[in-house]
Amino acid sequence: MGTDDSPQSYTLAEPNPEPSPVPGCAECLAIAVRRRNARSGGDFSGASDANVVLMTHLSEDHQ
């Protein structure tokens, strides 16, 4: 006893939060579409690559 390390507050944790496209921005939309197409095609590395591109775009153009 005394070694209870079962995770309790685990259910609401978001494991990998994704950047959201800014409404009205064509470039955000294009990246989001690419991400969705990659994921629906089973290309998860392509999807995470699109996330990196989107995060870079957000920090550079939507500061």
Residues forming contacts to Zn ion in the complex (CB under 5 A) are 22, 25, 27-28
Q: How far is the CB of 16 from Zn ion (least distance, A)?
A: 20
Q: Which is nearer to Zn ion, 28 or 38 (CB)?
A: 28
Between the CA of residue 39 and those of 23, 59, 60, what are the distances in Å?
A: 21, 23, 25
Q: How far is the CB of 44 from Zn ion (least distance, A)?
A: 23
Q: Which is nearer to Zn ion, 22 or 53 (CB)?
A: 22
> In the Cβ-directed half-sphere of 32, how many Cα atoms lie within 13 Å?
13
Query: Which SS3 state, helix, strand or coil, does residue 50 take?
Result: helix
